[in-house]
Amino acid sequence: MNRITSTFSILKAQNKKALIPFITAGDPEPEMTVMLMHALVQAGADIIELGVPFSDPMADGPTIQRSSERALHYHIGLADVLTMVAEFRKTDSVTPVVLMGYANPVEAMGHGNFALTAKEAGVDGVLIVDYPPEECEKWVQQLQEQKIDPIFLLSPTTPKRRVEKVAKLAKGYVYYVSLKGVTGASHLNLVDVSNKLAEVRSLISIPIGVGFGIRDSVAARAVSELADAVVVGSRIIEEIENSTRSALLDNINDLVKSLRVALDEVNSANSSQIVNAGKL
């Protein structure tokens, strides 16, 4: 059992939902990334999604685009990101790390070389936004040979046949994009999310994380009642870019802790309902 599967298994036994924060490697400065990863874990993160900076991040809104631009200012590339993961692993052998990015840097490194280097660095999962499941069976096989989970995006407009394809290929969890548009949008519709997740769950048995548009503890709490994991990216990136360097780690700690508390309140309320139902 790898770190992602183990994490979801433990959380399920505890009747808890996973909190998955996203940061971009190298943002705001390269030397802050590993410290931020540890801060996220200390504040309650269960899995870390680490963005690979890219010059044309088509799925990302302005906030995450700016984080990529800041990282690229320091010439942070895929090899640097893997070095950061290896540094993180020196003192954290438990928390899963998922790389999220685009095809070009991976193809420049070479699929086989990337998969091997990522495994050696301690990467647990990879989500490549512009790899459609219909065209990447060999890529998935190369990841699986290194025991790295291929993670795929699903969206409100994903047709059933693609969901079925993802169900055959995905490992670890799938990432459901809660709204139409790019990261950071604010028009989250929980009814739409609930309806689509019911359809997805009828086809996919692994955990489902929901992201895009989750900007505060209220939204995180609401989404956690529908999904197995809550992914928060743009709001955390905003905190990074609006914090002074001296206050950055404390501010991130406070924000992620507030999200953790929100998710655990749902767990506590559900547990109480189960106990009360058992007394009837």
Residue 95 has which token pair? 């928390």
Residue 215: per-residue pLDDT: 83
Answer yes or no: 87 catalytic.
no
H or E, element range at 29 = none
Catalytic option among 60, 124, 149, 228: 60
Rg (CA), the chain: 18
Residue 204: per-residue pLDDT: 95
Q: What CATH number should be reported for the domain holding residue 93?
A: 3.20.20.70
Evaluate whether 186 touches 153 at the Cβ level (below 8 Å).
no
Residue 16: per-residue pLDDT: 95
Nearest residue to 46 (alpha-carbon basis) of 3, 2, 13, 1: 3
Q: Please state the domain count of the chain.
A: 1
Answer yes or no: 239 catalytic.
no
Pairing state between β 48-51 and 18-24: parallel
Residue 192: per-residue pLDDT: 85
Catalytic option among 27, 31, 46, 49: 49
Residue 266: per-residue pLDDT: 73
List the domain range (segments joined by +) for residue 41. 3-278
Q: Mean pLDDT for each 10-residue chunk of the chain (280 residues)? A: 94 96 97 98 98 87 93 97 98 98 96 97 97 92 96 93 95 88 62 89 95 87 93 95 96 97 78 47
Angle at 82 between CA 227 and CA 183, to 5 degrees: 40
